[in-house]
Amino acid sequence: MPTTTPSATPATRRVRRVAGARAVRGARAAGSLRGLSETYTPDNLLDNLSDPATLSEQYERGKRRERELLDRHLGLAGGDALSVGCGWHPGRHLLPKPAWRLVAADIDPARPRHAVAQGEADDGLQGAAGQLDALAAGSFDVVLHRLVLHHVAYAGPLEPVLDEARRLLRPGGALVAIEPSVYHPIGAALALANRAGLGVRVHGTPDDIPLSPRRLAAAARAAGLTPELHAVSYSWRRLPVRAQRAVGALDRFGSAPGLRWLGHTFMLIARR
């Protein structure tokens, strides 16, 4: 059953009704779990060379930068939000209590349960991106895909996921996606490694697919959304800390025309 908290808004009461459909979706979800996320291999070139301290430094800088961009550009002070493919970190740093009521969805049911238990989400449900059919149209002010779509792109087209986001959004709501960019030198190099069949050896998985910001914006527009793009960070988590900070100083230019395409990670805000 989806995990719920005692106080519920109309949006979260609709989430509870998903429970009745989960038995029907069980076999479908199991197949999607295998298809959407490949097994991660920790014994790979980049992880063997990386210092955990440098990874942590960039993760925290990236989260602060994400929050800064969303506060500046989203134009919403609160409401109901859905984090799709939430993993272990559903994005509470972006959508804090009490202004935002956050529903965590993941094809692995343990992850939304964990998010609710840790106070990182208010409700949880099992479901895959593009397959949240039991959720009512117009239920959310924000649909969040944080580092999700580049995995979905490995398994299939993004159009059903973007169409689903538009269906779930209320008028004036926004799809928010944060993804690695293929236009950044690191993203381009990882894309080449994937094409050469070296993804697992180099970075542990074949399904980290850096995305084209331009193509994602065009796909969002085709789904009936109005997109805008911002570079989150030009730095890379595997650089030495001093180098991260030096390159990260460029992040303040991440909304400038021409430069917004070139970040290592970028944010798409696509409004309905």
> φ, ψ for residue 212 (rounded to 5)?
-85, 120
What is the bridge-based pairing of β-strands 140-146 and 79-84? Answer: parallel
pLDDT in tens, 51-71: 888 899 999 999 999 999 999
Residue 133 CA, chain-centre distance (Å), reads 19
SS3 of residue 23 by DSSP = helix
Token pair belonging to 224: 């009936």
- In this structure, which topology does domain 10-271 adopt according to CATH? Rossmann fold (3.40.50)
pLDDT value at residue 16: 40
pLDDT above 50: residue 10: no
Q: Which residue has the tokens 């343990």?
A: 110
Between CA 108 and CA 254 the distance in angstroms is 34
pLDDT above 80: residue 200: yes
Burial (CB count <10 Å: 0-12, 13-18, 19+), residue 55: middle
> φ, ψ for residue 268 (rounded to 5)?
-105, 125
Domain ranges of the chain: 10-271
What number is the average pLDDT over the span 223-231?
98
Between CA 209 and CA 155 the distance in angstroms is 10
Cβ contact 183:212 at 8 Å: yes
SS3 of residue 219 by DSSP = helix
Cβ contact 86:104 at 8 Å: yes
pLDDT in tens, 113-135: 999 999 999 999 999 999 999 99
This prediction has a pTM of: 0.85
